[in-house]
Chain A
Amino acid sequence: MIIQHHPDEATLMSYAAGTLSEALSVVVASHLELCPHCRARARELEALGAVLLDDVAPEDMSDASLAVFWQKLDALDDKVLRIHPERAAKEMTGTASGLSGPLAKLLGRPLAEVRWKRLAPGIRYHRLPLSDPSRGDLRLLKIAPGRTLPEHGHGGSEITLILSGSYHDRFGRFGPGDVADLDAEVEHQPIVDPEQECICLVASEHPARFKGLLSRLLQPLVGM
């Protein structure tokens, strides 16, 4: 797969700094699993964080802090202490279905076994659990081949990752691994390509706004 559309640099920096909301972070992390280019960029942005951390004025630790640390360490079982590389590596790669780490964990099953709910003609969805559902919305969408979505903007707080299939809009073709990270004012009208259905992961920071968008999808489309 050749990935042509990546998260915005500002999104990547927020992710590297740890300030991106949970729903958006899952989408970015999933893209990073697929995209060596963005992984390199994310690593640089983490190095930036390291430099800033190094230059922070240190806070005094309590007098016995290091002694306390050794005590805590001694109290822990030795088995707990050593992380085995093979186990750690297994945790980091996705499941056999090829899904990325964080998404695979949230989904808890292969993509083929997801139970989809009907949203609108040609559109199904599956909501994913977040730590705080009031702070965002994260869901899989499965959209039928050839389906046109109504023109809409993302309000700068939504991000979409294509998992399979593809769609076209004014910015080009979006296939597996591609990310749609639109600026606030930008609108687009995606049309799913005819060869197969399109499955994508959609994150939003404003659940109410996102649901408003979804309800528009329920309205009959002109020319369908």
Chain B
Amino acid sequence: MSELVQQVAERKDKRAFRELFMHYAPRIKALMMRQGADPETAEEIAQEAMLTVWRKANLFVPAKGSASTWIFTIARNLRIDRIRREIAWQATVSEAPEEFDDELPPDEAVAQAQQHTQLRGVIAQLPRDQNEVVKLSYLNGLSHSEIAERLGIPLGTVKSRIRLAYQKIRESLEEGI
């Protein structure tokens, strides 16, 4: 995916972009719908996210992280922008910066795909209650209080499950290096 973004950046490669669009747009749409947007709005947000990818492809630097993380943060920021500025989800274009300036050391950049696989493995192996709160957070877009309400458990319990999940994730990432 990172190579595709670079191809878009270097020569506005429409074929490379099409591949990115076909992979990410339907998933961003699905994510937005899961977080409460109606299908039309969700599709609009997916389009906007991909427009940002097209526009900012020249700002994406592989040494700073993976393309999928970059695109995730674009979609996330668009959603935040809409929710904060409007009551209903309507079209706004976000100019929020998607990344900081830190460069990863070269060997860490190479390990991006590995990290992706590792993370996938950790999530799959999380105990059910931890897996659940992580997904309610990222996929359903619920705050900790909202998760507590949804599951009928204390806020403190939500937070400790998240901390436990976080610990496992960190351990797994550290072992990988």
Contact = CB atoms under 8 A, between A and B. Distances in A.
A48 B166 CA distance: 10
Contacts of A83: 55-56, 58-59
Contacts of A72: 47, 51
B82 to A, nearest CB: 11
Interface in B129-165: 134-135, 137-139, 141-146, 155-156, 158-159, 162-163
B97 A49 contact: no
A51 B26 contact: no
Interface string A89-124: 101100000000100000000000000000000000
A65 B21 CA distance: 10
Contacts of B159: 8, 10, 156, 183
B77 A18 contact: yes
A88 B68 contact: no
Contacts of A218: none
A58 interface: yes
Interface residues of chain B: helix, strand, loop or mixed (majority): helix
Given A56-B34, A131-B84, A69 B75 contact: no
Contacts of A187: none
A3 interface: no
A49 B69 CA distance: 7
B100 A32 contact: yes
A69 B139 contact: no
Contacts of B73: 46, 49
Contact of A47 (B54, B58, B65, B101): B65
A128 B39 CA distance: 35
A101 B39 CA distance: 33
A51 B116 contact: yes
Among B18, B159, B163: residue with most chain A CB under 10 A: B159
